C-alpha cells in the first residue's frame, strides 16, 4: 500500500530507519500518555509530589512541565 | 523577512491563527498553516494544488488531520512503525478514550517558541507559533532564495511544508501532493520522468 506500510512489513530487515522511527513515535506517544495521566491525577486531587513519585521524577520536573495547566 | 511575504502568504499566516483559534489549539501549528493554505484562491499555491487534483478536497484533508490529532499527533507512518514493534496504536487510543473520554490523546504542542516573532505585528495575536510552525516560515524564505524568487509566496510555504517530515506532509502525500509533484507543476522539474510513469 503506502511506502510506510511497506517499510513496516520489512521491520524484520533490521533497517535502522524503521527502528528509529518506531522509537521516535513511541517517545511522542509516551509524552501524550503522560499528559493524559498527569491531568487525570490532578483532577482526582493528587499532589505534584505524589505524581512525581509514581513517575519516578522530581516534583519540580513534573510541576515545571505541567504546572501551568 | 515579513515585508517579502506576498499578500497570499500573509493571508496564510493570518488564516493559520484563525484555524488554531477555531480548533482551540494553544499554539499555531503546521497543520493550521496547511488548512490556511487550502483556503487560498487564485494564488500560485492554490493553482499548484488544483492542478494536482486537490481542489474541493479540503474537507478530506481536514478529516485526516483531525484523525492524526486523535492519535496523539502521530502519523500513519508512525502507526506502522509502532506496529512493527507489536504495538497497536489504535488499541491504545481506544483504551485511553474509554477511560478518559473521546479525544483524550489529542495532541497539544508543548513546544511554543519563545518570545514574539516578526509576524506578531502582522497577526496581532496572543497565540504563539509552535516551533515547527516557526521553522516552516523560516524554511519558506530559504526555499524562495534557492529559487531566486524575490518574494515569499504561498507556493514557497507549500514547498517548505511538504519538505518537512510529519503529519501535514504525509496527509498531503496521501492526497497526491508531494514536494516533487509540487516542484513539477510549479517549475516544470522532472517532467520527462513523470511522463514515463
Query: Residue B52's pLDDT is what?
Result: 95
Q: Give the number of other CB atoms < 10 A from CB of residue B147.
A: 15
Cell numbers found for residue A48: 505534584
pTM for this model (two decimals): 0.79
Q: Which of B175, B164, B89, B197 lies closest to A8 in space, CA to CA?
A: B89
What Å distances lie between residue B77 and A24, B10, B35, CA to CA? 11, 31, 21
Taking CB atoms and an 8 Å cutoff, what residues of chain A touch B84?
Answer: 8, 11, 18, 22
Query: Where are the domains positioned within chain A?
Result: 3-66
Q: State mean pLDDT over B27-36.
A: 95
Instruction: Return the CATH number of B2-69+112-196, one of 3.10.20.440, 2.60.120.620, 1.10.1780.10, 3.40.50.2300.
Output: 1.10.1780.10
pLDDT at B196 over 50: no
Which chain A residue has its CA at the smallest distance from B68's CA? Answer: A29
In sequence order, the β-bridge partners of residue B180 are none
Mutation for testing the B interface, residue in A1, A7, A8, A17 having most B CBs under 10 Å: A8
Looking at the predicted structure, is the pLDDT value of residue A17 above 90?
A: no
pLDDT tier, A61 (very low <50, low <70, confident <90, very high otherwise): very high
Q: Is A56 left (phi over 0), alpha (psi -120 to 50) or beta?
A: left
Which residues of chain A does B77 touch, with a Cβ-Cβ cutoff of 8 Å? 2, 4, 7, 21
Per CB-CB distance under 8 Å, the chain B contacts of A40 are: 99-100
Cβ count near A60 (within 10 Å): 11
Q: With a cut of 90, say whether residue A6 has pLDDT above it.
A: no
> What are the residue ranges spanned by the domains of chain B?
2-69+112-196
The alpha carbon of residue B66 and the mean position of all alpha carbons in its chain are separated, in whole angstroms, by 13
Q: Enter the C-alpha cell of residue B139.
A: 524554511
Amino acid at each position: 500500500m503506502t511506502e510506510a506500510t511497506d517499510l513496516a512489513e520489512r521491520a524484520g530487515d533490521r533497517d535502522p530507519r524503521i527502528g528509529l522511527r518506531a522509537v521516535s513515535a513511541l517517545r511522542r506517544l509516551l509524552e501524550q500518555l503522560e499528559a493524559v495521566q498527569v491531568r487525570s491525577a490532578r483532577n482526582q486531587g493528587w499532589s505534584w509530589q505524589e505524581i512525581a513519585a509514581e513517575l519516578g521524577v522530581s516534583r519540580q520536573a513534573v510541576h515545571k512541565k505541567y504546572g501551568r495547566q | 523577512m515579513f515585508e517579502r511575504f506576498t499578500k497570499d502568504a500573509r493571508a496564510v499566516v493570518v488564516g493559520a491563527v484563525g484555524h488554531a483559534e477555531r480548533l482551540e489549539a494553544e499554539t499555531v501549528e503546521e497543520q493550521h498553516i496547511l488548512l490556511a493554505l487550502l483556503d487560498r484562491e487564485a494564488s500560485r499555491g492554490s493553482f499548484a494544488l488544483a492542478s494536482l487534483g486537490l481542489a474541493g478536497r479540503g474537507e478530506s484533508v481536514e478529516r485526516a488531520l483531525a484523525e492524526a490529532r486523535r492519535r496523539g499527533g502521530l502519523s500513519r507512518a508512525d502507526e506502522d512503525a509502532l506496529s512493527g514493534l507489536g504495538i497497536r496504536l489504535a488499541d491504545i487510543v481506544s483504551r485511553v478514550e474509554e477511560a478518559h473520554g473521546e479525544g483524550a490523546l489529542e495532541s497539544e504542542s508543548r513546544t511554543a517558541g519563545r518570545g514574539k516573532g516578526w509576524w506578531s505585528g502582522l497577526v496581532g495575536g496572543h497565540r504563539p507559533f509552535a516551533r515547527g510552525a516557526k521553522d516552516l516560515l523560516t524554511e519558506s524564505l530559504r526555499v524562495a532564495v534557492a529559487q531566486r524568487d524575490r518574494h515569499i509566496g504561498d507556493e514557497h510555504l507549500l514547498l517548505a511544508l511538504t519538505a518537512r517530515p510529519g503529519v501535514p506532509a504525509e496527509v498531503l502525500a496521501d492526497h497526491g501532493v508531494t514536494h516533487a509533484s509540487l516542484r513539477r507543476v510549479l517549475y516544470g522539474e522532472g517532467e520527462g520522468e513523470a511522463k514515463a510513469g
